[in-house]
Amino acid sequence: MKFLSIGDGAYLNWLRLYDLDDLWVITDFKRELDSCCNPLYYISLGGLANIASRLIEEGADVNAQGGGYGNALQAALARGRNKIVDVLLSKGANINAQGGVYGNALQAASNGGHSKIVDVLLSKGINVNAQGGHFGNALQAASYGGHNKIVDVLLSKDTNVNAQGGHFGNALQAASNGGHNKIVDVLLSEGTNVNAQGGHFGNALQAASYRGYNKIVNLLLNKGADVNAQGGHYGNTLQAAIAGGHNKIVEELPSKGAV
């Protein structure tokens, strides 16, 4: 275990050669120790449950912050390391800790489609509406990934279907961007605002139009989506459809009132 000691030169050299936290980074022989995360974090990324247990027994802080995913628990969740997750939770990992690309553990698990882990986290009292991270909240992450079962579970736990934030602004825009018809249906049936503004595309209709999802476009229009709503990267729905090269949608939008 000496190799996994921050004070050991071999630890730094390992991370200079191969960084589990960012697999696209080339070898960096000038890297310094202060840019590295703690050993438990990297072991959690790698899925080495036995070594993780031993590190914790030897005093590793299970809730230490740092790394792209924020902490060891989120790192394990992001990579689908179920055994590591079990170890960390049994050793007192803070399920509501904030930070990292996904903001919190529930969002990380929801994004990865790990429904069993989502169930475990919810049973332990995790905040279902926690904000932060790339997707803003767990529901948006699950909606983007097309994880129907997780969406259903989160909604059954009183998730705010209209919560704002994250790259897509709201869950409906995330689902529309991903072309997930069933999730769009579910969200609309749960009372989501079809004209909610925000996010990269400005609204759900613009996202579906840019991606070319005709069925979702028609569904949103039938539910009262404003075809001339302004905002987002492409300005409006018609421009989004043109930018995406979806001629059929471009031809149909004027008949729906697009100008």
Residue where a domain stops, chosen among 75, 94, 113: 94
Same domain flag for 121 and 143: yes
Q: Is the pLDDT of residue 180 over 80?
A: yes
Q: Range of 152's domain? A: 98-193
Select from 223, 222, 216 the least CA-distant residue to 241.
216
Query: What is the per-residue pLDDT for 18?
Result: 65
Same domain flag for 80 and 126: no
Same domain flag for 102 and 73: no
More confident residue, 201 or 7: 201
To the nearest 10 degrees (0 to 180), the angle between helices 171-178 and 138-145 is 10
Q: What's the number of domains the chain is made of?
A: 3
Same domain flag for 15 and 79: yes
Q: How far is residue 255's CA from residue 135's CA, in Å, rounded to a whole number? A: 34
Same domain flag for 87 and 1: yes
Same domain flag for 78 and 112: no
Percentage above 70 pLDDT, the chain: 88
Are 236 and 204 within 8 A, CB to CB? Answer: no
- Mean of pLDDT over the chain: 91
pLDDT-derived band at 12 (thresholds 50, 70, 90) equals low
Residue where a domain stops, chosen among 60, 94, 128: 94
CATH number for 173: 1.25.40.20
Q: How far is CA 139 from CA 95, 135, 190, 250, in A?
A: 17, 8, 13, 30
pLDDT-derived band at 27 (thresholds 50, 70, 90) equals confident
User: What's the DSSP call for residue 232?
Assistant: S
Same domain flag for 102 and 138: yes
Same domain flag for 104 and 164: yes
Residue where a domain stops, chosen among 72, 94, 116: 94
